[in-house]
Amino acid sequence: MSTERTRSKLYLAAAKQAAYEVRVPAYRVKHGLNYPAPGGGPERRAEPGDVVTDLPMSSLLWLLADGIIEEVTD
Amino acid sequence: MAFVHTADKARVLVNERSFSAKLSGVTLGHERAVGDTTTFADAGAKFVPGLAGGALTLNGFFEAGAAVHGELNSSVGVDNGLLVTAAPDGLAVGKPAFIAVGDMTDYDVSASVSDPVSFSVESQPDDGVDWGVSLHDLVARTATADGTSVDGTAATTGGGVASLHVTAASGSLPTLTVDIQDSADDVTFVDILTFTQATAATSERKTVSGTVRRFVRAQWTIGGTTPSFTFSTAFARR
């Protein structure tokens, strides 16, 4: 029983760690912007203050550099 | 590339009116004053660029109604009472568009025995005339959408000027908000300028300072019940 509990705890800890490692970066939008939806579909709109996780990878660099978005760290 | 004036394509918007079918001529002159910096040590005259200025002239056929005389007459004595966007080759997205806002200095109506009654308007634009591109043709829109982007080939740092002319609005409690957006990659677009929300025919000119990224476009948000707005917007980099 004790061994099973220990294994279970280890499994949960590993799962949490894995979840942390694949966590999708989130960004807080500081200026209103429009971006294409992943996989197509209608364009998406984000207003200042919105937190988004699906911005196009190709745009992240200049959006961060220009202060349009900031990474959410908390 | 030769630039050909095409009589059936030229479009001129004055405040919340389309004057295209009323005008026979438009002149938007951009001037730049220069300061003389010549010294005794110079063999020739030297100058530095000064303030921007310009002149705006409209020539057309007089109409007594609100569409021509009413619009022009209501601009007399009004600070920046004339907002003009002129597009010699039409207002399709990407076509050249010249933006000027100014005070009317002359409004003359001429009548003779043999000719139609005509008018001419002269105006002194603030900050000269800005040379840009159309970002939305003068067509009706009924739903939120964004326009085709225009590639400026590179970012610029001098800001810009935008004009919006809403010539018609209908529906129940219709609203229109037009943003000018820019982009470094033509994928994600950021608001750089937002016009005041329109609920009826109106016009507005706004400026933005700082960097304007390589691509620019218009984005519009329409609300209300069965709304429809006919509008055009243009943007000029500085």
- For chain B, first and last CA: distance in Å? 22
Q: Which of B16-25, B54-63, B118-127, B210-219 has the highest mean pLDDT?
A: B210-219
Q: What is the pLDDT of residue A19?
A: 46
The predicted structure's pLDDT at residue A15:
54
Mean residue pLDDT of chain B comes to: 94
Helix/strand/coil percentages in chain A, nearest 5: 40, 20, 40
Q: What would the mean pLDDT of B10-39 be, rounded to a whole number?
A: 93
Q: Which residue of A29, A33, A50 to mutate against B (max B Cβ within 10 Å)?
A: A33
* Cβ–Cβ below 8 Å for A33 and B185: no
Buried b (16+ CB within 10 A) or exposed e, B81-107: bbbbbbbbbbbbbebbbbbbbbbbeeb
Rounded Cα distance between B1 and B6, Å, is 15
Asked if residues B34 and B47 have their Cβ atoms less than 8 Å apart, the reply is yes
pLDDT in tens, B129-167: 999 999 999 999 999 999 999 999 999 999 999 999 999
pTM over cut 0.80: yes
Tell me if chain B has a CB within 8 Å of the CB of A34. yes
Tokens (6 digits) for B149: 């982007």
B23: buried, middle or exposed (CB in 10 Å: 19+, 13-18, 0-12)? buried
- Which of B149, B157, B188 to mutate to test binding with chain A, by most A CBs within 10 Å of its CB? B188
Instruction: Look at residue A39 in the predicted model and tell me its pLDDT.
Output: 85
Q: Residue A67 class from Cβ within 10 Å (0-12 exposed, 13-18 middle, 19+ buried)? A: exposed
Strands B215-237 and B160-183: antiparallel
pLDDT of residue B40: 96
Check whether B169 has a pLDDT greater than 70.
yes
Res B197 pLDDT > 90: yes
Residue B63 in tokens: 């109409």
**A68–B187 C-beta distance less than 8 A:** no
Q: Smallest Cα–Cα separation from A54: which of A46, B220, B191, A18?
A: A46
Structure tokens at B113: 């025995």
Burial category of A52 from C-beta neighbours within 10 Å (exposed 0-12, middle 13-18, buried 19 and up): middle
Q: A69: which chain B residues are within 8 Å (Cβ-Cβ)?
A: none
What confidence score (pLDDT) does residue B69 get? 92
Residue position matching structure tokens 């100014």: B102
Locate the chain A residue with the closest alpha carbon to B181.
A33
**In the predicted model, what is the mean pLDDT of residues B185-202?**
98
Local confidence band at B2 (pLDDT 50, 70, 90 cut-offs): low
CA distance B176 to chain A (A): 16
Q: Which residue has the higher pLDDT, B27 or B227?
A: B227
CA distance A55 to B55: 45
Low-confidence ranges of chain A (pLDDT < 50): 19-20
- pLDDT of A5: 74
Nearest CA among B97, B95, B106, B212 for reference residue A66: B212
Q: Per-residue pLDDT tens for B210-236?
A: 999 999 999 999 999 999 999 999 999
Tell me, what's the pLDDT at B6?
A: 61
Which residues of B fall below an 8 Å CB-CB distance to A? 146, 179, 181, 184-185, 187-191, 194, 211, 219
Find where tokens 């009413």 sit: B70
